[in-house]
Amino acid sequence: MLAATLLLGLRNRPAHSLLICTFNRGTQGLSRHAARTCAVSARAPLSTSCTRRQSEASKIESKTLDVLGTAYATDDWTNTPPAILAKTGRNLLHQPSHPLAILKELIFKEFPTFAHYDSLSPVVSTHQNFDSLGFAQDHPGRSKTDTYYVNQNTLLRTHTSAHQLQLLAAISQGEHNVLMQAKNNFAAPRNERFLVAADVYRRDEIDASHYPVFHQMEGVCTFSREEVRDKIRQATTAERDSKTGGACHSDQVAQMVDATVVGEDNPMQSAHSAEEVAFLVKNMKQAMNDMVVQILTKAVAAQQSSGEVSASGSQAQFPVRWIDAYFPFTSPSWEMEVLFQGEWLEICGCGVMKQEILNQAGMPDRIGWAFGFGLERLAMLLFGVHDIRLFWSSDSRFVGQFSPGRINSFRPFSRHPSCAKDVSFWLPAESTFHENDIMDLVRETAGDLVEGVKLIDSFTHPKTGKGSRCYRINYCSMDRNVTNEEINVVQELVRKRMVEQLGVTLR
């Protein structure tokens, strides 16, 4: 069972609330046309909990590890392999024609009053990534099977939330060296609202929609309590006026129907009043809703102009639903899903920021909300990219199809034939085996030649009690044909390393 599916299966899914977003494009209702097959599956958010055994695999021998020009001392937490380190310098978000960079800019434009950060180093402290956000010591996200550690105190960020406290503290203390990293810091260098776009790293399975490096966008929006008090007062007056025949502030863009309740299961924090929470939640949901509608509208327009769908067959409404969630650094918390072309897509996690974070940052008089979402999933939809590995391709037939500021549907170039190889083995008796060790080992050996790794058989021998596994490895190059001989050499190396590094017995 793949980790993401398993973790999501554990998630508590109470009655969905429904938020319907509509945008003005004539009288068309919600129409579903033949859904493009876009393999976009959910990645386990950092909200889930389950226990995993640590693994001793992927030990790295040398005493220091060089990451982006800095040498870090290694220890027995070090588990970041060279193939992953190589990704830290790729900077896809800085290539103006790259689909992920185009999407990033699109979102930056949706939040013109926020500071925009997109060049914060992926190397962060364990404190930044976990402790500063209130992650419990035994949270599974901290385990070596899930996270790439440089050493015990340093890791490759697993999410952009790692920068929340650091940036808020820098804003509150006016640390210019940090604030100057914002792309648009000229008008308001100490802006308490910001977006962070960045590469994030998680040990994960391999398939068309999972890759151990992906990109996230974090949004943090804070308000002074005084400002919130004024806004609540104004809203109450406006409501009273509308009841007595005053101006009606109906919203043409988004119609919201939202049945989630802030209560025992998804509680507000004792530091906040019910009015403050109601204000923050409404403001946050509206902002996210508007952003998603804007982006999906552009996706539909791109499909229409490429002739992929006709104007009459395209989607005009995007129902959004909110699902109660748990994150250590927000409460209440939700995940947002949107219905796009017949599929519910998990877009992001969000919630009211834990007040401890703002207090620690030196902003006890402010309250706020935060969201975080993966860029790949939306970019796959927006640009019609069906395999997440393509984002890492430097093949001109991929990169040459895009240009800055433009959304267009990717025209797949001819697929090169794939080649499947199976490997069966007995697990070691003292088993510390974790599936992600296989994933890393295969990727480390075969690089981007590996298209997917799938468990196809698993059983326990009735007499010896030994566990057996069979994995199917699919090899396929994005840009050339591979020969069977070439793949045999790679497969042999994979088998050899499995024995050496994971202690399995091949069958």
Nearer to ligand PHE, 349 or 452 (CB): 349
Helix axes 99-110, 274-305, angle to 10 degrees: 130
Residue 195 makes contact with ligand PHE by CB under 6 A: no
Residue from 99, 122, 140, 372 binding ligand PHE (CB under 6 A): 372
Residue 371 makes contact with ligand PHE by CB under 6 A: yes
Q: One-letter amino acid identity for 461?
A: H
Determine contact, residues 206/440, Cβ cutoff 8 Å: no
In sequence order, the β-bridge partners of residue 330 are 327, 353
CA distances from 480 to 207, 251, 447, 484 (A): 19, 51, 14, 13
Nearer to ligand PHE, 220 or 423 (CB): 220
Phi, psi for residue 85 in degrees, rounded to 5 = -55, -35
Contacting ligand PHE within 217-236 (CB under 6 A) = 218
Q: Report the nearest approach of ligand PHE to the CB of residue 81 (Å).
A: 22
Residue 354 makes contact with ligand PHE by CB under 6 A: no
Q: Report the nearest approach of ligand PHE to the CB of residue 168 (Å).
A: 13
Nearer to ligand PHE, 196 or 339 (CB): 196
Residue 340 makes contact with ligand PHE by CB under 6 A: no
Residue 161 makes contact with ligand PHE by CB under 6 A: yes
Determine contact, residues 329/133, Cβ cutoff 8 Å: yes
Helix axes 375-383, 274-305, angle to 10 degrees: 30
Q: Count residues near ligand PHE (CB under 6 A).
A: 14
Distance CA 444, CA 439 (A): 8
Residue 140 makes contact with ligand PHE by CB under 6 A: no
Residue 203 makes contact with ligand PHE by CB under 6 A: no
Q: Report the nearest approach of ligand PHE to the CB of residue 363 (Å).
A: 17
Contacts 24+ apart (CB under 8 A), 438-442: 438/471, 438/498, 438/502, 439/203, 439/204, 439/205, 439/206, 439/212, 440/57, 440/58, 440/81, 440/84, 440/203, 440/212, 441/57, 441/58, 441/494, 441/497, 441/498, 441/501, 441/502, 442/206, 442/473, 442/494
Identify which range of 112-120, 282-290, 346-354, 463-471 contacts ligand PHE by CB under 6 A: 346-354
Residue 165 makes contact with ligand PHE by CB under 6 A: no
Nearer to ligand PHE, 220 or 450 (CB): 220
Determine contact, residues 94/118, Cβ cutoff 8 Å: yes
- Rounded CA Rg of the chain: 24
Nearer to ligand PHE, 296 or 347 (CB): 347
Distance CA 41, CA 345 (A): 8
Question: Both ends of the chain: CA-CA distance in Å?
Answer: 21
Residue 351 makes contact with ligand PHE by CB under 6 A: yes
Phi, psi for residue 210 in degrees, rounded to 5 = -125, 135
Identify which range of 253-261, 266-274, 345-353, 471-479 contacts ligand PHE by CB under 6 A: 345-353
Helix axes 225-243, 274-305, angle to 10 degrees: 80
Residue 45 makes contact with ligand PHE by CB under 6 A: yes
Nearer to ligand PHE, 322 or 433 (CB): 322
Pull the structure tokens for residue 275: 């009015």
Q: Report the nearest approach of ligand PHE to the CB of residue 372 (Å).
A: 3
Residue from 81, 99, 140, 349 binding ligand PHE (CB under 6 A): 349
Q: Report the nearest approach of ligand PHE to the CB of residue 45 (Å).
A: 4
Residue 147 makes contact with ligand PHE by CB under 6 A: no
| Residues of this chain that bind ligand PHE (CB under 6 A) | 45-46, 159, 161, 218, 327, 330, 333, 349-351, 370-372
